[in-house]
Structure 1
């Protein structure tokens, strides 16, 4: 996600938007859904925050994963939360996950010429259980078993496609989200920092925070076996 004004380019005399980057993931399992996001906020190559929260609560049982422009997606989340509260008062009950997702999609579509935000809506209700809705730039809304977006998503599509299976347990889904995020963070320079996850099921919302030093690493990030010993032997 990016913060800040556009960067001017003297050579062309035009404004150039800074590069955007993040990784957001949502995975459904048997009885609920798991959402996760990295914590890095950058403007171009400048990292302004390593522990940003890109998971925004819309209702008690529905959350929004945000990528793209922080200002745009935060505004959408705030408006949708307000409208969802109004709807809950009228209905006398919380709106369904599908209804909240449609609110996000409608606002995104009606302002598609001005907004830059790729989002994922995920939640749990008694009618349809755990649900994941992808809402990319432009306002399309698609229900999926799992969804991923942001610059880091290009590195993990195949991994998620291979690892996801129907009827996953909560533990398996949580592990998959953390592994997918950490893999993207190892490859994508615009994703990094910490990992936040939210698990939604019939017992409510369960939040988890994984600090930077506890994020799983991959073999490329580790020193070669016995490298220190080999160096001492050569020396």
Structure 2
């Protein structure tokens, strides 16, 4: 039996019948005056890449974004609900919601439906109360505010890198550069992460989107082998 056949045998015996294996790389890094959110673009179903260029960075309100990981259908439904509720809240109060409000609304939806959902997300953004802040909501519905956050199957490959290189009060360019570097490393090592890198920098002045194509990654297979 060849190495490839062993790999396929191993892959299909781990998954139950009808079970779908998912994977991604998402992260959020605060900087002086805001937050950068970052994600790859691969949506996978087991060994099959269903979408090479999916957008996993969803705008919940003007200054708040959500990074999606887990089941694409579940996270798309959740972000639609939270976007609707936050928009309704802003119309009723005449104010912009805080990142904490958005995170705890997401937490409540995930926790109350944890038996039916497969969704682990990062909610990050800027508000006049806390400035730039980052919250991670786990599969079970726990909500934690963190100095920075990572998620998805690729996150285990870059934990040490971010622990070593992240520092508080970086500039926007430094945070975006580190986010791209970390995401590119994860995409190289994790078979369920890949495609392009999307980043969004969120400050009091608004949002700034950035796109890095697969042939422009700051780190890739050529740097490894």
TM-score, reference length from structure 1: 0.87
Question: In the aligned structure 2, how far is the partner of 1:75 from the partner of 1:210?
Answer: 27
Residue 24 (structure 1) aligned with residue 20 (structure 2): no
* Structure showing greater Rg: 1
Aligned length: 213
Q: 2:222 corresponds to which residue?
A: 221
1:71-86 map, 5 Å: 71-86=73-88
Distance 2:168 2:207 in 1: 22
1:146 equivalent in structure 2: 148
Counterpart of 2:202?
Answer: 200
Distance 1:75 1:222, change over 3 A: same
User: Which residue of the partner structure matches residue 189 of structure 1?
Assistant: 191
1:223: how far off? 8.4
Are the equivalent residues in 1 in contact too, given 2:134–2:147 (CA < 8 A)? yes
Q: After TM superposition, give the deviation of residue 90 of structure 1 in Å.
A: 1.5
Match of 1:173 in 2: 175
Shift of 1:217: 2.3
Selected match of 2:98 from 96, 99, 102: 96
Please say if 1:130 is aligned against 2:132: yes
State which of 114, 117, 125 in structure 2 corresponds to 1:115.
117
Which deviates more, 160-169 or 106-115?
160-169
CA distance in 2: counterparts of 1:26 and 1:217, whole angstroms: 19
Q: CA deviation at 1:221?
A: 2.3
2:146 and 2:18 mapped to 1: Cα distance? 33
RMSD, aligned α-carbons: 1.8
Please give the per-residue CA displacement for 1:185-224, whole angstroms capped at 9, x wherever unaligned. 0100100000000000111000001111111224x52487
Distance 1:28 1:110 in 2: 29
Structure 1 outlier segments of 4+, above 3 Å: none
Contact 2:181 2:219 in 1 (8 A): no
TM-score by length of 2: 0.90
Give SS of 2:17's match.
strand
- Tell whether the 8 Å contact from 2:40 to 2:194 is kept in structure 1 after alignment: yes
Aligned residue for 1:217, secondary structure, equals coil
Q: Point out where structure 1 has 5 or more consecutive residues left out of the alignment.
A: 1-9, 225-235
Unpaired segments of 5 or more residues in structure 2?
Answer: 1-11
